[in-house]
Amino acid sequence: MSYKYLCNGLPATLMLCFLFAVSSCKKDSNNSGGSNVTPQATPKKIGLYEADSSIYKELDIVISKIGTQSVQFGLVFDTGSGGMVIDAHGVVPASMLTSSGFNFTGDSTVVDGITITNKTNIVEYGDDANTIDKVYGNLAYASVTVGDQSGNIVVKRLPFFLYYKAVDSKGNSFDPHEFDVFGVSPQYDITFSGGAYITSPFSYYTPGTGLTSGFKMAALGPSNFSLNGTLVPDVITLGLTTSDLSSSDFTMNQLSYYPGNGYVPYLPASITYNGKTVSGTVIYDTGTEPYNYLEDNTAAKTITQLPENSSVSITTTSGFNYGYTTSATDYLTYVENPSSSG
């Protein structure tokens, strides 16, 4: 399904949703000197699944173990949010689940290697009061295996949002795992009492000696999308080398830190569509397929879709250039005036 994330009050005059490559996070110090130098670690690679329902396209990443439970869930691989959000059905015993929360007392409980705390939150997805979907859950911790037999990593203690209920604006329940998301942005989308928060699962993974914590993402073409999802191996590389960080193959864009929100993937840019240029902010968001949203303060008060064969180009202040042409089924792009759309 598609997700349009709320932006937590941060300024964004343009939202664009497409694939990107990123490197981030802090550099590990190298071990040096003497004959007992630890060999440099090798980066790990994980594949993604390209799924197409004929209505939308999405990228999925597999979670194959949570705590002591072997599972097989495909989560939306989302560059526009931070943190793993997963349904508790099939993860913890059904006897623990009620419509009003998890069935336990005290500050926390441990079941099947998963620590569920009493810290709660409600995550909202949508545009306005008429379309807001709500997801109810708790902060949890567990060892999580990300990826499958084609390539995986183990994050030994991952904080994540374990939810027990998801409803639409009318209170109707969604099917289990409808809102499963694997958010890899270094932002804090979901916070809890006492200063706890969740962010990209990759940020809790230590790649090893000589590698910088972070990931890079290979380019993905449109030819592998299928109804059941087609595995494209080795798309994600975890652990960055010195050559990765200085590679001419990438344009580096420094993210800004927002107190309470972390490093949000908003980039200042110039956007041109159908010959008109506006300044704004782009967010690279693979979790909002297949739409692009252009927010233009001078646009019409009603949301309009750009017609087929419309050209759109984006240039960030760091010199990254991207462009596309709309078609009947791909690169669908909507223009809205934030003064009327909210």
Instruction: Tell me the sheet residues that pair with 262.
Output: 187, 258
pLDDT of residue 16: 42
State how far the Cα of 81 lies from the Cα of 68, in Å rounded to an integer. 27
State how far the Cα of 328 lies from the Cα of 331, in Å rounded to an integer. 8
CB 296 within 8 Å of CB 339 = no
Question: By mean pLDDT, which of 27-31, 42-46, 72-76, 144-148 is the weakest?
Answer: 27-31
pLDDT of residue 22: 40
Average pLDDT rounded to a whole number, residues 291-313: 92
User: What are the pLDDT digits (tens) for 9-66?
Assistant: 333 334 443 333 343 444 344 444 555 677 889 999 999 999 987 777 889 999 999 9
**Phi, psi of 178, deg, nearest 5:** -65, -30
State how far the Cα of 342 lies from the Cα of 340, in Å rounded to an integer. 6
The helix or strand, by DSSP H or E, that contains position 153, with its residue range, turns out to be strand 151-167
Share of the chain above pLDDT 70, in %: 88
**Quick one: how far is CA 314 from the chain centroid?**
21
Average pLDDT rounded to a whole number, residues 66-88: 95
State how far the Cα of 279 lies from the Cα of 199, in Å rounded to an integer. 29
Average pLDDT rounded to a whole number, residues 291-317: 92
User: What are the pLDDT digits (tens) for 269-278?
Assistant: 999 998 999 9
**Phi, psi of 96, deg, nearest 5:** -85, -10
Question: Pick from 240, 257, 325: which is nearest to 24 by CA?
Answer: 240
pLDDT of residue 35: 58
User: What are the pLDDT digits (tens) for 173-197?
Assistant: 999 999 999 999 999 989 999 999 9
| Eight-class DSSP state of 187 | B
**Phi, psi of 137, deg, nearest 5:** -170, -170
- Both structure tokens of 279: 């300044």
pLDDT of residue 128: 64
Neighbour-count burial for 216-255, b at 16+ CB within 10 Å, e otherwise: bbeeeeeeebeeebebbeebbbbbbbeebeeeeeeeebeb
- Which are the contacts of 100, defined by CB distance < 8 A and separation ≥ 6? none
Instruction: Tell me the sheet residues that pair with 284.
Output: 16
Q: Which pTM was predicted?
A: 0.86
To 5 degrees, how large is the angle CA 281–CA 285–CA 286? 160
Question: By mean pLDDT, which of 13-17, 34-38, 95-99, 107-111 is the weakest?
Answer: 13-17
**Quick one: how far is CA 177 from the chain centroid?**
16
- Both structure tokens of 171: 């209170």
pLDDT of residue 127: 63
pLDDT of residue 34: 52
User: What are the pLDDT digits (tens) for 221-264?
Assistant: 878 889 889 999 999 999 999 998 887 788 888 899 998 899 99
Return the higher-pLDDT residue of 115 and 261.
115
Share of the chain above pLDDT 90, in %: 63
SS3 call for 94? helix
- Which are the contacts of 296, defined by CB distance < 8 A and separation ≥ 6? 13, 14, 276, 278, 335, 336, 337
Question: By mean pLDDT, which of 20-34, 114-128, 251-265, 323-337 is the weakest?
Answer: 20-34
SS3 call for 226? strand
Question: By mean pLDDT, which of 20-29, 92-101, 152-161, 331-340 is the weakest?
Answer: 20-29
pLDDT of residue 97: 96
Question: Pick from 149, 82, 67: which is nearest to 116 by CA?
Answer: 67
The helix or strand, by DSSP H or E, that contains position 341, with its residue range, turns out to be helix 338-341
State how far the Cα of 58 lies from the Cα of 73, in Å rounded to an integer. 14
Mean pLDDT of the chain: 86
Given a cut of 90, is residue 342 above it in pLDDT? no
State how far the Cα of 47 lies from the Cα of 64, in Å rounded to an integer. 13
pLDDT of residue 290: 67
